A and B are shown apart, each in its own frame.
Chain A
């Protein structure tokens, strides 16, 4: 039995010609809404215990509506949400806090709002106080708190008792970076104990670091449900998508999925990695100097071309990325037929493992403004350790060591 199953879920906001028709409907009058505005339609997925799922999508794609229906604050217009367990949401912290009451009193109240009895709260109140770490302030009125302190208490209450499903807005700030780390540790701890995470985020890094599955929503439907890396590539492509732009997805030989998008005025001809001798390489020893060659083709007159690349690790997490705008190497007023080549020289100061390179052709400093082409998994290379001392991690940062006794 799955923990959460969403079947053919849809939400429509109904507009009636007159509100009295709406009221008449409650009493069984056969009135019809004059307008139905569907914000979500045909959503299907199910979630198993212990999974961590990222929900991504642009603003207005329907993420909040979906989450509200899962938590139960919003009623679906069609379809069902079946939940086997308790859901806690850390989307909006501090709801129901009253400024005149002390932190302790607010904890009882807010936990009551979440459906806990006073006895259950009694058991965990000491943990909450300890976790929030606000000292004497716990017994002072909340109006004397800083906003960070209020967040600490609110987070401590929201996660006092482990839920079966935890909904987290990744961008939610829970105070200073110390507490941010502390709260994410708790979230991970829950996950290890079997809590399913539903994470809303725009940040590729955290989705890929925390989730083992991602669901992409676009104008009210699920357009992709799969491995975070693939979904995030697709998501980036959508963001870059402009008029006339196309998104194409191709399955590579190794089974991974490559996404190509853009308006096509400039295209990527080839991407390759070369060693100091100019030989094309696939395996690169740690720390060796290499050159990334990107050959482009101009298909229409364009005012400016910026080439950017991003090296990602095997999990798709960005390791390093930059572009010719930041490097101050600009080509302007290009005409159709040209085929400029770009060479990026750098040392492969990377840890052992497999890396991929994504390449983007665009104007200005990001691919968001005007994207000619975006290509994920443009090439893959491996870093091998041949001559260096044993080390772990993503980066090669050779120290000089001194042992003092």
Chain B
């Protein structure tokens, strides 16, 4: 395990330049370049807000802002976009980079690290854009905003854990790559992002407790929309799950790495 981190450190230059290159390549020959990374989720928020605000806006108690529903949507989307982007990219990571893995010798662990770095970069840009939009909608950040950092770490860990496991399995069982996007869609709708948690019928509330993304998204809502310190107890549980999944993912990655090149 120590060797893993040592080789990662030796290849830090490569990791860094990969993240930068990906970013640069996005700007090349496109007028708005990286801005599309921000425009896309914002457009999605705008669509949901337009379509659903009349149905759902009234059900958001505790916020004194006429754009409350839009704020709520954006906070949830921020967390979800990081989560799903990491998973989706990890899912096909080893297949996409198969050619490189077959031809060049380099520490394979750099690949997921590059994905995480690149996703976090997008996330930070989206976050800054959201702060701007929030400010335009009269919602200003408070000191509770710092809780975003550990929360981001947790959601990243959760996504990396799940993504690594699925990405490794996908190399051997390609059905995984087909089924996961569907499951992610289901998961999205089973997480209170578009709708407030209050509209869930009482008998389904326990099901929510099984969803490790629920505490995270709620915490994002608390911080960004309700301007209060999030409920850390549930988040801690998710953090523990994330840690477990990440270790499992790393373990599987290490066991599978020698065989991966054989089947790619």
Residues of A within 8 A of B (CB): 13-14, 19-20, 22-23, 26-27, 68, 71-75, 87, 91-92, 95-96, 98, 100-101, 105, 108-109, 112-118, 141
Contacts and interface: CB of A to CB of B under 8 A. Distances in A.
B35 interface: no
A121 to B, nearest CB: 8
Given A101-B25, A105-B21, A26 B255 contact: yes
A98 B105 contact: no
Contacts of B13: 112, 116-118
A153 to B, nearest CB: 15
Contacts of B103: 73, 91-92, 95
19 contacts: A13-B262, A14-B259, A14-B262, A22-B172, A22-B259, A23-B252, A26-B252, A72-B105, A73-B104, A73-B105, A75-B261, A92-B103, A98-B21, A101-B24, A101-B25, A112-B14, A113-B14, A117-B13, A118-B13
Contacts of A115: 10-11, 14, 106
Contacts of B251: 26
**Which of A27, A92, A115, A117 is the most central at the interface, judged by chain B CB atoms within 10 Å of its CB?**
A115
B235 interface: no
B102 interface: yes
Interface size range of chain B in the complex: 20 to 34
B14 A73 contact: no
Contacts, number: 77
A113 B104 contact: yes
A115 B12 CA distance: 9
A31 B14 CA distance: 38
Contact of A19 (B10, B101, B102, B173): B173
B172 A109 contact: no
Contact of B21 (A109, A114, A118): A109
A101 B21 contact: yes
Contacts of B21: 98, 101, 105, 109
Interface string B1-41: 00000000011011001100100110011000000000000
A13 B104 CA distance: 20
A19 B104 contact: no
Nearest to B97: A96
B258 interface: yes
B43 to A, nearest CB: 25
B17 A73 contact: no
B256 interface: yes
Contact of A23 (B28, B101, B172): B172
A114 B10 CA distance: 11
A113 B106 CA distance: 7
A73 B25 contact: no
Interface in B91-123: 99-106
A113 B16 CA distance: 11
Contacts of A141: 28
B71 interface: no
Given A23-B169, A26-B256, A98-B21, A73 B10 contact: no
Contacts of B10: 115
B105 to A, nearest CB: 4
A100 B26 CA distance: 9
A73 B169 contact: no
B97 to A, nearest CB: 10
